[in-house]
Chains A and B, each alone.
Chain A
Amino acid sequence: DQQVKQNSPSLSVQEGRISILNCDYTNSMFDYFLWYKKYPAEGPTFLISISSIKDKNEDGRFTVFLNKSAKHLSLHIVPSQPGDSAVYFCAASAYGNKLVFGAGTILRVKS
């Protein structure tokens, strides 16, 4: 049973445009959500997070939106840059417990 789902295996975006990566979850106990970025041959690195008491968190070009009623979160990257090309993992935690990851979305930003 996949508790965190990233239904788009890949996404291709033109440089300078917006990238929107989506994530759905099923466990209503999740109260903290994170996005990780992974380049080939490297480990995942933390990108941005959001607590369930918020509906938006922004860090530079990256914004995460949380819709608790829909059990849905999204990562917006504006403007997209070629260096953003990577695999993006959505992750969730309940009460500080271990993270549950989605399957990942491959983002390709074309120049």
Chain B
Amino acid sequence: NAGVTQTPKFQVLKTGQSMTLQCAQDMNHNSMYWYRQDPGMGLRLIYYSASEGTTDKGEVPNGYNVSRLNKREFSLRLESAAPSQTSVYFCASRTGQRVSYTFGSGTRLTVV
């Protein structure tokens, strides 16, 4: 089982560049999430999708957009990257029956 797959694992961007972080899950989960992890801040929710066709803002959505392409895939886009978006990004998913999430291995993004 692959679980939750994130690509790329590492990325360096220049300020103002755009990029899309990809996430796919093969567990037939309904809900998907994007978090960022920063030192001393824990995991903060950026956007989530409770089910295919829906997306909602989380705690820190500014500067990001998302697309729930289908039930498997949930992408996160940075339209104009800023140094404040340097972070480790995690995608997660869960079924409707369990509260627990399954996380991907993360994307380490540096914006210079």
State A73–B44 Cα separation when bound (angstroms): 20
* Residue of A6, A32, A98, A100 contacting most chain B CB atoms (<10 Å): A98
Q: Are B103 and A32 in contact (CB under 8 A)?
A: no
Number of interface residues of B (CB under 8 A): 22
CB of B53 within 8 Å of the partner chain: no
In the complex, the chain A residue whose C-beta lies closest to that of B102 is A46
Does any Cβ of B come within 8 Å of A93's Cβ? yes
Q: Is the CB of A93 within 8 A of B99?
A: yes
Known contacts A43-B4, A46-B101, A98 near B42 by CB under 8 Å: no
Interface check B90, CB cutoff 8 A: yes
B58 within 8 A of A: yes
Task: Check B103 against A45 for contact (C-beta < 8 Å).
Answer: yes
What is the minimal beta-carbon distance from A8 to any residue of chain B, in angstroms?
12
User: In the bound complex, how far is the Cα of B102 from the Cα of A34, in angstroms?
Assistant: 13
Instruction: Report the Cα distance A43→B33, complex, angstroms.
Output: 13
Question: Which residues of B, 1-59, contact A by the 8 Å Cβ criterion?
Answer: 4, 33, 35, 40-45, 48, 58
Let me know if A34 and B42 touch, CB within 8 A: no
A: which residues have CB within 8 A of B?
4, 6, 9, 32, 34, 36, 41-46, 49, 89, 91, 93, 96, 98-104
